[in-house]
Amino acid sequence: MNAHRLSRPELADALEQGFHNIGQAAELSGVSAKMIRHYERIGLIAPAARTFANYRLYGEADLHRLRFIKRARSLGFSIKQIESLLALWDDPRRASVEVKQLARTHAAQLGEKIRELQAMQRTLETLAKRCHGDGRPTCPILDDLAGGG
């Protein structure tokens, strides 16, 4: 049953019918209540149905969508990329080639970011080796930072 079709039920009635309040939805999806409200505000999830007392209601489809978003975020997809992935997920006529391309592009971006982070790590390790780490005031780490590299 879709909570959006209910005409502002009492919370107890909605919960009996299998709907969840925001706290329950957060617990069941692994997405905080704050982020659920944020995702609703930016349009990643549909506006929640409301009870007579204006509490948000979430059904199983909402929880499934929240879990999708959570997993995509855990893989480092941006909100914009998640919007695209959700649009593809919602389209039964989608071409999987589009999904594959999004994943490959993101993987390439992650690879570049990893290379950048590894270069930073190597630089810091080199600077740390050059630093005496004693009572002397001279420090190649600070010198490098002051000189902009």
Q: Which residues pair with 58 in a beta bridge?
A: 20
- Residue 103: is its pLDDT beyond 70? yes
Question: E strands, 8-149, where?
Answer: 49-50, 56-57
Q: For residues 96-107, b (16+ Cβ closer than 10 Å) or e, as one string?
A: eeeeeebeeebe
Domain at 64, CATH number: 1.10.1660.10
pLDDT given for residue 5 in this prediction: 47
What's the rounded mean pLDDT across residues 48-55? 90
- The sign one gets for the Cα dihedral 13, 16, 20, 23 is positive
Q: Would 76 be classed as within a structural domain?
A: yes
What is the span of the domain harbouring residue 21?
Answer: 1-87
pTM of the full structure: 0.81
> How many domains does the chain contain in total?
1
Report the candidate in 48, 43, 71 with the shortest Cα–Cα distance to residue 59.
Answer: 48
